[in-house]
Amino acid sequence: MVFSLKVILFLSLLLLPVLKSSQVTLNNNGYDGIVIAINPSIPEDEKLIQNIKEMVTEASAYLFHATKGRVYFRNVSILVPITWKSKSEYLIPKQESYDQADVLVADPHLKYGDDPYTLQYGQCGDKGQYIHFTPNFLLTNNLLTYGPRGRVFVHEWAHLRWGVFDEYNVDQPFYISRRNTIEATRCSTHITGVNMVLNECQGGSCIQRPCRRNPKTRLYEAKCTFIPNRSQTAKESIMFMQNLDFVTEFCTEKTHNKEAPNL
């Protein structure tokens, strides 16, 4: 793989995408023309640029492996706010602009906070509008929550480029299978784990216990959480929990969990 990254001086003053038209192309298995734009409201921080470079470099290798050598990231431009100090390595943009960017680095969204997200309006298979990262996500290590940033980028790229959806469901984390068993909403079902209520506190002490079944819903109680086992044979899926070490692939038609109540 050949990965080149250029840093370009950001001149656009638009704060949100208006007429979206991505410049991304796929040539000989490599994605070119990816634009990552930093919002003008973000304070100057050299570490931010460095972490973006490291994230995309890591993501390229992860994507290459996950797609069995089909695609990787080859050329990425970072648009730096014009309010930042000028440097000799910064170039003047040609076609790149904030309103055309594929990835935005901006302040937290009221709904998502520092969680990465991709704005998607369409159905499954329809490309998204843009990926949103916050400076705090890019500058703070949250491996337990998100996993390596490169993996997160691949997860969001699948939303953006291929129009796929998450394979978990916060609103419906469990469902009743055709075998009349309670299953965690996940892909693939080969991921094993336990269903527990964590940190239930009473009288100054906290415990962890197995989940109880709600007789009305026939599902587990609201506080129940699915905890994957550390040792697994499954390798998928990136759209379920990319933060798990063993997850290195996407679910396929063969491994897709068609019963799960996700989008």
Give 68-99 as a 3 state SS string: CCCCEECEEEEEECCCCCCCCCCECCCCCCHH
Contact 64, 154 (CB under 8 A): no
Read off φ and ψ for residue 31, nearest 5 degrees: -80, 125
Contact 154, 250 (CB under 8 A): no
Contact 236, 249 (CB under 8 A): yes
Catalytic residue set:
156
CA distances from 236 to 35, 151, 200 (A): 28, 13, 30
Give the separation between CA 65 and CA 58, rounded to whole angstroms.
Answer: 11
